[in-house]
Structure 1
Amino acid sequence: MSRTIAFNGKFFGAAPTGVHRVAEQLIDATDAWLTDNPGDGTDYALVVRDGVKIPAYRRIAGVREHPLVRWMHRIAWEQLYLPVVCRRDFLLNLCNIGPLLHGASATMIHDAQVYSTPGSYSKAFRLWYKFAFAFIGRRHRLIFTVSEFSKQELVRFGIASADKIVVIHNGCDHILKIQPDGGVVAKLKLTPKRYVLALANTQKHKNIEILLKAFARPELADVALVLFGGAKRTDFEGLGQTVPDNVVFAGRTSDAELAGLMAEAGALAFPSLTEGFGLPPLEAMALGCPVVAAPFGALPEVCGQAALYADPFMPEEWSAALLRLLDDEAVRRDLVVRGYEQAGLFTWQRAARTLLEAVAAAGTGRR
């Protein structure tokens, strides 16, 4: 009798996040791998809400919810409806949370930051995730995570034992399939190679304040800091942070616009105090944009020797490192070459193969 491995598609139709993008890429790569490698009688399905758009997969069948349950809240749908409709299936949850009582599951928990950096999240968010992780880490058969650092953190905070955690590094080669939109550079009135990209994010662990302080220093007065993402100038100022005049807010960008910005940037700055993985640095490297990062969290694991590192509490180190990249062509060329090599190590095909091998080794029958 054939078995079914079902992907939890709750995130389809929701607002895009980094976690959702990882799930989309991983499912797409899994479908491609299954297409090129004939299976063993296992069926694959993606269970989604009624009415949402999904890609046209070749080996993964789309299964839509019954119209009578479309009124359910997303959390209720995941916790009550999904385990019933997938009661005979092995369920793959790729966005941190899955049905708490569906033991025949593998769940990807990207990081333990609700424990390590609680100030970055609301109290309600922290309580729900900690409650859910207590069940998932013990009851679900496998826990996936995205780096060795995150695995250590999940063990340290007692979320799961090391023997049931499998590391699946993200890929970054999706960025190479996007045609960069170079028009965004002109639209924002930027000078190619004389601006630095970073996230527009006010979460404490993203540590963008250190960049605001660095770009207030006189040596960076003629360099623009371009922040992409949802946070606005008023959001940072509302936290008591000073935003210097050479900061440009790009707002939410399309994938093509972001690729265009990365391709023409002098550098990407990533000063996070912790990261479960840290995908933007690899995306930048794949497009020939050098990176300055903080030596914290999974960033040394992900960036390796292909980035410059700066102390995330010392703005003068950030200004010095960025000026090295902007003003020293030899340093820049060396880091670009290293970046291409580093990014080439992280592919979605490798991630999909690791996922399928781990699920096969764990067994997909119910217990």
Structure 2
Amino acid sequence: MTRLFFDARYIRTGFHDGISRYSAELAAAVAASAPGRGVEVTFLVFDDDQRRLLPEGASTLTIGAPTALGEPLRARELNRHRPDVVFSPMQTIGTLGRRYRQILTLHDTIYYRHRTPPRDLPWFVRLGWRLFHLSYVPQRLTLNAADVVATVSETSARQFAEVRLTRRPVVVIPNAPQRLAELLPAPAEVVAGSQNLVYMGSFMPYKNVETLVRAMAELPGRTLHLLSRISPTRRSELEALVPAGASVVFHGGVTDEEYARLLADRAVLVSASLDEGYGLPLAEALALGVPAVVTDMPIFREVAGGGALYAPGTDAAAFAAAVRELDDPQVHARVVAAGAAHIARFSWTRSADILLDTVASLA
């Protein structure tokens, strides 16, 4: 029996961010598949509340938080419990002195291009974050301390190779969409149309929400829904760009259920982002049967395939024209069908199998 320790310390107990959802969904799929593969899974947590977000009956081990000062020496603590393989959905767990095989995960390289760290991290972690991303050297040292490096997309794997980020084998353990259809009131139904433009994501400058707002000048009678929480300053900046007579709604944050209902109501998922690590909302929309209009860039092509129409990120008129294309029922049906077929390749069961295959190769 192979002993796998799965680092579940990045699961948030309040609301999921991207890393948290990836951790929780992959953990559930691994727990379901592992017994049939001869793998005994123990989940590493630092907060008792994280246990309720793991599969019922899951074996857990409580250790320090991933932001603790002792994290660089975490391997010495884990050695005492004799795992065969440790998998972390991040790359920051300490590996110094480890006596087991290690899989580290780097989701993308976006923070080398946009170095602002998440605001909810302690100040010393934010400072270290900025210093860490000034050069590829610290990342290379970190990743080369593992046996295998995981990432979530073929696009990221190519980016790693382009900058020679690691000498270790890179395996793609893809992200997968959450099942929004399960959150809709019964009977679940998606109403086709392109009346509502739905944007789910942050308002960082590279997300380029300005293009979406400007596009509304050529989309009279439709509504742009900006779902995420937004600072008063950033909201004022975007409100100043709203064309006369255009309908733009700032929701200031929504639940998963509200998100699903908005997407299911004659909606198109939109993003004019100029850079992206993955684009999970795009995958979620396609899985729900909702088409998308997004920036033409490699990661969105990988995630959406034919399930989206593509436009240059800074061309508001092109975005508006693509939305209007979806008014044609035949175009709409074709894009939705292509998206459903494409996104069916991404599932947490498949991702768990890839991880367990990697564990077997190491153990």
TM surpasses 0.5: yes
1:192-240 residue CA offsets vs partner (Å, 9 max, x unmatched): 741100125222332212112212x2x2132111011122563243589
Gaps of 5+ in 2: 120-125
Q: Equivalent of 1:136, from 138, 142, 162?
A: 142
Q: Equivalent of 1:153, from 155, 159, 164?
A: 159
Partner-residue secondary structure (3-state), 1:107: strand
1:137-171 residue CA offsets vs partner (Å, 9 max, x unmatched): 1111111111111011122233213x511011222
Deviation of 1:109 after TM superposition, in Å, equals 0.8
CA distance in 1, matches of 2:97, 2:8: 15
Q: Residues 160 and 250 of structure 1: is their aligned pair in 2 closer, same or farther, counting only changes over 3 Å?
A: same
Which aligned pairs between 1:280-295 and structure 2 lie closer than 5 A? Answer: 280-295=281-296
TM-score by length of structure 1 reads 0.83
Deviation of 1:56 after TM superposition, in Å, equals 5.0
Q: Residues 94 and 335 of structure 1: is their aligned pair in 2 closer, same or farther, counting only changes over 3 Å?
A: same
* 2:77 paired residue number: 84
Q: Equivalent of 1:170, from 167, 170, 175?
A: 175
Q: CA RMSD in A?
A: 3.0
In the alignment, structure 1 residue 57 sits paired with structure 2 residue 55: yes
* 2:122 paired residue number: none
Gaps of 5+ in 1: 186-190
Deviation of 1:328 after TM superposition, in Å, equals 1.6
CA distance in 2, matches of 1:132, 1:178: 42
Between the two proteins, the alignment pairs up a number of residues equal to: 344
Q: Indicate conservation of the 8 Å contact 1:100/1:135, yes or no.
A: no
Q: Residues 283 and 102 of structure 1: is their aligned pair in 2 closer, same or farther, counting only changes over 3 Å?
A: farther
CA distance in 1, matches of 2:164, 2:156: 12
Q: Residues 84 and 17 of structure 1: is their aligned pair in 2 closer, same or farther, counting only changes over 3 Å?
A: same
Deviation of 1:28 after TM superposition, in Å, equals 0.7
| Letter matched to residue 128 of structure 1 | F
* 1:188 paired residue number: none
Which aligned pairs between 1:110-125 and structure 2 lie closer than 5 A? Answer: 110-118=107-115, 124=127, 125=129
Deviation of 1:331 after TM superposition, in Å, equals 1.2
Q: Residues 8 and 257 of structure 1: is their aligned pair in 2 closer, same or farther, counting only changes over 3 Å?
A: same
Deviation of 1:92 after TM superposition, in Å, equals 0.9
* 2:41 paired residue number: 44
| Letter matched to residue 144 of structure 1 | A
Deviation of 1:264 after TM superposition, in Å, equals 1.2
* 1:126 paired residue number: 130
CA distance in 1, matches of 2:290, 2:356: 32
CA distance in 2, matches of 1:268, 1:83: 46
Which aligned pairs between 1:227-266 and structure 2 lie closer than 5 A? Answer: 227-232=226-231, 234-238=233-237, 242-244=241-243, 245-266=246-267
Larger mean CA deviation between 140-149 and 72-81 belongs to 72-81
* 2:347 paired residue number: 347
Q: Residues 22 and 50 of structure 1: is their aligned pair in 2 closer, same or farther, counting only changes over 3 Å?
A: closer
Q: Residues 30 and 236 of structure 1: is their aligned pair in 2 closer, same or farther, counting only changes over 3 Å?
A: same
| Letter matched to residue 330 of structure 1 | Q
CA distance in 2, matches of 1:181, 1:83: 50
| Letter matched to residue 306 of structure 1 | G
1:171-195 residue CA offsets vs partner (Å, 9 max, x unmatched): 225334333599xx9xxxxx97411
Q: Indicate conservation of the 8 Å contact 2:75/2:95, yes or no.
A: no
CA distance in 1, matches of 2:233, 2:31: 43
Q: Indicate conservation of the 8 Å contact 2:27/2:54, yes or no.
A: no
1:36-94 residue CA offsets vs partner (Å, 9 max, x unmatched): x2x33x421011114323235367411223xxx6xx67333533446513553221111
| Letter matched to residue 146 of structure 2 | H
CA distance in 1, matches of 2:149, 2:89: 10
Give aligned-pair identity as a percent. Answer: 26
| Letter matched to residue 115 of structure 1 | Y
Q: Equivalent of 2:105, from 100, 104, 108?
A: 108
CA distance in 1, matches of 2:240, 2:151: 33
TM-score by length of structure 2 reads 0.84
